Amino acid sequence: MQTFIHCFLHLVFPFFIAYGFFRNDWKKVYLILIATMLVDLDHLVANPIFQIDRCSINFHPLHTYYAMIAYVVLLFFRKPFNIIGIGLLFHMLTDFIDCMMMYAHCKDCYLDAPAIELLKTTSKILGI
């Protein structure tokens, strides 16, 4: 179910963002939102490149808190930069939801995760 939710949020939900908020240009916006998936190219610098149970938040260079600040700044620019910012931030949210789902199943497995403090704080707030 976790894989389904992750893929749904990455591939299908951007359609609802595009159609709901940018109805006149929804096709173009949807393609831009999908193109922001290229942010995952930073996984290529990790060793191993793919690890099924790795939390990517604050692990990969384009998934760091510093990068996320830059994505927030993009929101204040004109199209298409603000749409790119929306896509990148939604991508980070999707990956964070994935991290939270993994953390909820095995808190001890993620004690060394770079985003452990964020995971702990969020799980306390949500009562997980």
**DSSP code per residue over the chain:** -HHHHHHIIIIIHHHHHHHHH-GGGHHHHHHHHHHGGGGGGGGGGSSSS--TT---TTTSGGGSHHHHHHHHHHTTSPTTHHHHHHHHHHHHHHHHHHHHHHHHH-GGGGTT-TTHHHHHHHHHHHT-
Say which residue the tokens 């204040």 belong to: 76
Cα dihedral 13/22/76/125 (nearest 10) = -30
Alpha carbon distance, N-terminus to C-terminus of the chain: 18
**Count of residues in the chain:** 128
State the pLDDT at residue 52: 83
For residue 33, what pLDDT band results from cuts at 50, 70 and 90?
A: very high
Q: What are the boundaries of each domain within the chain?
A: 2-126
pTM of the model: 0.93
State the pLDDT at residue 41: 95
pLDDT digits (tens, 9 = 90+) for 49-108: 888 889 999 999 999 999 999 999 999 999 999 999 999 999 999 999 999 999 999 998
For residue 20, what pLDDT band results from cuts at 50, 70 and 90?
A: very high
